[in-house]
Amino acid sequence: MSIDAGFVIAVGTAVLLMMAVFIIIFVAYYQQKQAKQQLAFKELQAQHRRDLMEATFRGRRKSVNGSPRTCMMVLAPCCQSPK
């Protein structure tokens, strides 16, 4: 009932190779998942940035009393050069 040493080495090698393949597959899957999540996050950030810019432009276009000149008066201090 003695187990041959060569058989034990072969089984051990096969188990280690399967573990290595599993780790490689797991890391590749995780990296792919991470890349998709990062892309989705960047798209969400870009959409948020667009929404903020649109809200800013909408706020600047809106005038206090309905006059377009009011809007220019609000923007004028930003555009003037320092004295």
- Which distant-in-sequence residues (6+ apart) come within 8 Å of 60 by Cβ? 71, 74, 75
pTM of the model: 0.52
| Confidence at residue 78, expressed as pLDDT on a 0 to 100 scale | 54
Kindly report, residue by residue over 11-69, the tens digit of the pLDDT: 999 999 999 999 999 999 999 999 999 999 999 999 999 999 998 888 877 654 455 55
- Contact, 64 vs 70, CB < 8 A? yes
| Confidence at residue 59, expressed as pLDDT on a 0 to 100 scale | 82
| Confidence at residue 56, expressed as pLDDT on a 0 to 100 scale | 86
Distances (CA, A) of 55 to 14, 21, 58: 61, 51, 5
Amino acid identity, position 35: A
